[in-house]
Amino acid sequence: MRINYIKIGKNNKGGNLNMKKTKRQNGITLVALVITIIILLILATISIQSLTNTGLFKKAQEAKKKTQNATENQAKTLNEYEDELNKYISGTISKQPVKKVEDNIGSVLSTTDNTELQDAYGNKIVVPAGFKIVSNSDTNNATTVDKGIVIEDATSAVTAGSQFVWVPVGKIYTDEQKKESKTKTITLGRYDFDETTGAESAYSGSYVEEDKGNTSTTLKNWGNTIAKNITNFKTSVVTNGGYYIGRYEARTTTTRNSKDDVLTQITERGIDQVYNFVTQPQAAGQAQNMYNSSKFTSDLINSYAWDTAITFIQKCSDQTNYANQISLNTDNLLQTGTTIDQKCNIFDMASNVWEWSTEVSDDLTNPCSARGGGFHNSASFVGIRGCGDINYSNMYGGFRPILYINI
């Protein structure tokens, strides 16, 4: 086999030289690149060590943590502001942050607005315009709603000194930890009470407080006086978490001897005389006109208010069977009431005189409903219902006003 060789001339020789030169240049470039990379790595290492030694990374981490903490604190603050704003409510309650009962004893909170307070356990109470909270030995130093917080008229010229007790409705806390095992639930309602235990159950009798097939006009035409507005009363109680019951049987400054005596100003002062010898329409008129305010309403006690007050007493006092309590004075009328029939700061629901209400009996000739015990009848007790005609009155019967916040 013959091998053909290519003869290389000068040009080819030059070409071979050029080829060898290119390979050398590529080698130098690669070395330079490697050296450059090494130098950069060394510089990077030195830079990282320098940053580490100066604590820059640590400071960056601290700055990040501070930023996160600031964000969390800002969110917490905004939530707190939102909670405070939610405490403001519309209507007749003054738009101020909620105040504590114990910090507002003995002074009028406002003469123009109702004021919402909280007791030490977080329970709500709304103090009517012109009233103050009274807490002293006479009120058993009550400053929490389960004990019966007492308010007193401090501004009216004719009813100043009149006292009422807040009857809380809803879930009632009785300790600062708000333990479920220590809460009491009081539900606004009309009740029957067990004759042995006093336990309440939904009222099943024939007396009525509102329209049940009969129109309100029909109820009025029976001759007795019905509640001003029972719907407004119930709505107010649920919205505001309670209502006020007169601390005493209605009082007046002069002793009465007949229903024909002049109808004098009603009070709720313990030192005044029992307001007896009064018909149901007369009692209702006196109670409903006791106050004329755009902030709260006065009325004759209704069956919801009477029965709910009993459940309040049974759940928050030492007497769980108060519904069956008979009068503690049985010999004679006490013009200023008893001193021993007092539960949750409410006097004489069982004693002294029975009391007219706005409830209506099913007896057309005796439509007026009476509640409670009396000194003259040992068979009467707190939860009992009785009835009389529109002209009936005697020394044994009286009445009691209530107050509720307008909505």
β-pairing verdict for 124-127 and 115-118: antiparallel
Position 124 pLDDT exceeds 60: yes
Mean pLDDT of 30-35: 73
Between CA 149 and CA 141 the distance in angstroms is 9
The pLDDT value recorded for residue 211 is 67
- The percent of residues in the chain predicted with pLDDT above 70, rounded, is 77
The pLDDT value recorded for residue 29 is 73
Mean pLDDT of 290-304: 98
Return the SS3 of 20: helix
Determine the longest span between alpha carbons in the chain, in angstroms. Answer: 160
Q: Find, among 122, 135, 92, the residue nearest to 110 by Cα.
A: 92
Position 22 pLDDT exceeds 50: no
How high does pLDDT run on average in the chain? 85
Handedness of CA 308, 309, 314, 317 (dihedral sign): positive
Return the SS3 of 108: coil
Q: Find, among 80, 112, 78, 84, the residue nearest to 99 by Cα.
A: 84
CA 224 vs. chain centroid, Å, equals 34
Q: What are phi and psi of 76, to 5 degrees?
A: -65, -45
Provide the phi-psi class of 109: left if phi over 0, else alpha when psi is between -120 and 50, else beta: alpha
First-to-last alpha carbon distance for the chain, in angstroms, is 123
Position 329 pLDDT exceeds 50: yes
Handedness of CA 175, 180, 182, 187 (dihedral sign): positive
Name the band, by pLDDT with cuts 50, 70 and 90, for residue 46: low
Name the band, by pLDDT with cuts 50, 70 and 90, for residue 396: very high
Between CA 364 and CA 214 the distance in angstroms is 13
**For residue range 238-287, what is the model confidence (pLDDT) as tens digits?**
999 999 999 999 999 999 999 999 999 999 999 999 999 999 999 999 99
Position 178 pLDDT exceeds 60: yes
Report CA dihedral (308, 314, 320, 324) to the nearest 10 degrees: -40
Reported pTM: 0.77
- Range in 102-106, 132-136, 220-224 with the lowest mean pLDDT: 220-224
Within 10 angstroms of residue 86's Cβ, the number of other Cβ atoms is 8
Q: Find, among 245, 241, 291, 295, the residue nearest to 407 by Cα.
A: 295
Return the SS3 of 144: coil
**For residue range 339-377, what is the model confidence (pLDDT) as tens digits?**
999 999 999 999 999 999 999 998 989 999 999 999 999
Handedness of CA 140, 144, 149, 155 (dihedral sign): positive
Between CA 187 and CA 300 the distance in angstroms is 20
Number of Cα atoms under 13 Å in the Cβ half of residue 308: 26
The pLDDT value recorded for residue 393 is 97
Domain boundaries, the chain: 99-405
Name the band, by pLDDT with cuts 50, 70 and 90, for residue 10: very low
**For residue range 190-211, what is the model confidence (pLDDT) as tens digits?**
999 999 999 999 999 999 998 6
The pLDDT value recorded for residue 301 is 98
Mean pLDDT of 136-144: 97
Name the band, by pLDDT with cuts 50, 70 and 90, for residue 394: very high
CA geometry: angle at 66 spanning 60 and 68, to 5°?
105
The pLDDT value recorded for residue 44 is 65
Q: Find, among 264, 286, 262, 246, the residue nearest to 371 by Cα.
A: 246
